[in-house]
C-alpha cells in the first residue's frame, strides 16, 4: 500500500469519526488505568456502568490499596472475570503506592510492571493519559488493519510494530481510535457493512 493511499485512508477515517476517542469514562490517569484493566474481555459500555460507584468508593490509589479484593468485587460483579480483576486492581493500587508514590508512572517499562497491565493497557494509558503517540492493538485494530491492508500480520505484536512503520508517527493515537470506531460501527468481524464504508474503494479486501 502506497504512502498516499495510507494517508487517504487516515484522512477519511478521521472525517468519518471526528468523535473518536477513548470510550472509557475517566477523570484522571488513575481512573483510566483501572478502567482499562477492567475492560479486558468486557465491553467499554459494561465497564462504564460499574466504574462510577467504584471510583466514588475508591477515588485514588491509596483508597483502593487499603481495600481487600472481596470488598471491591461487589462494585464490579456485573463484568466478566470480576474476581480476578478485583485482585488485579487492588494489587495495582498497592504497587502504585509502594513504588510510585501513589501516582501512575508515565513510561512503558514501569507500567507493564504493574499487576494486570500488559502492552495494550500500557499503550492506552500512555496515549490517553499522558498524550504520547501510541498504537494500542485490540481486537478491532488487529482485524481492521489487516483486513483493509494497512498491514499483513498474524499476531497483535507484529501488527502494532508494522503499523508503527506504516503510519505517520504524529497520527498513531488518533488512527488507533478511528480504527476502533470503524471496527465497531462498520467493519464488523462477521458481516462488515462495505456498502456504507467510507474507505471501501481503498480497502485491499475489496480491491484484490
> Catalytic site residues?
120, 138
Which residue, 112, 55, 67, is CA-closest to 91? 67
User: With contact defined as beta carbons under 8 Å apart, do 80 and 49 qualify?
Assistant: no
10 Å Cβ neighbour count for 39? 24
User: With contact defined as beta carbons under 8 Å apart, do 192 and 186 qualify?
Assistant: yes
First to last CA, the chain: 12
- Tell me, rounded to whole angstroms, the distance of Cα 173 from its chain centroid: 10
Task: Check the CA dihedral 122-91-31-138 and report its sign.
Answer: positive
User: With contact defined as beta carbons under 8 Å apart, do 179 and 145 qualify?
Assistant: yes
Amino acid at each position: 500500500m502506497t504512502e498516499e493511499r495510507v494517508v487517504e485512508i487516515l484522512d477519511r477515517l478521521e472525517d468519518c469519526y471526528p468523535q473518536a476517542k477513548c470510550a472509557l469514562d475517566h477523570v484522571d490517569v488513575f481512573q483510566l488505568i483501572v478502567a482499562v484493566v477492567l475492560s479486558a474481555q468486557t465491553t467499554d459500555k459494561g465497564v462504564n456502568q460499574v466504574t462510577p460507584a467504584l471510583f466514588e468508593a475508591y477515588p485514588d490509589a491509596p483508597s483502593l490499596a487499603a481495600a481487600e479484593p472481596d470488598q471491591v468485587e461487589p462494585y464490579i460483579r456485573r463484568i466478566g472475570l470480576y474476581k480476578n480483576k478485583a485482585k488485579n486492581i487492588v494489587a495495582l493500587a498497592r504497587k502504585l503506592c509502594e513504588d510510585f508514590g501513589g501516582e501512575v508512572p508515565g513510561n512503558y517499562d514501569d507500567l507493564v510492571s504493574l499487576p494486570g497491565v500488559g502492552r495494550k493497557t500500557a499503550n492506552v494509558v500512555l496515549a490517553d493519559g499522558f498524550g504520547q503517540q501510541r498504537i494500542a492493538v485490540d481486537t478491532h485494530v488487529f482485524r481492521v488493519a489487516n483486513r483493509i491492508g494497512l498491514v499483513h500480520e498474524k499476531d497483535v505484536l507484529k501488527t502494532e510494530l508494522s503499523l508503527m512503520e506504516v503510519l505517520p508517527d504524529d497520527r498513531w493515537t488518533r488512527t488507533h481510535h478511528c480504527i476502533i470506531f470503524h471496527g465497531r460501527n462498520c467493519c464488523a468481524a462477521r458481516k462488515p457493512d462495505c456498502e456504507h464504508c467510507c474507505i471501501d474503494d481503498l480497502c485491499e479486501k475489496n480491491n484484490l
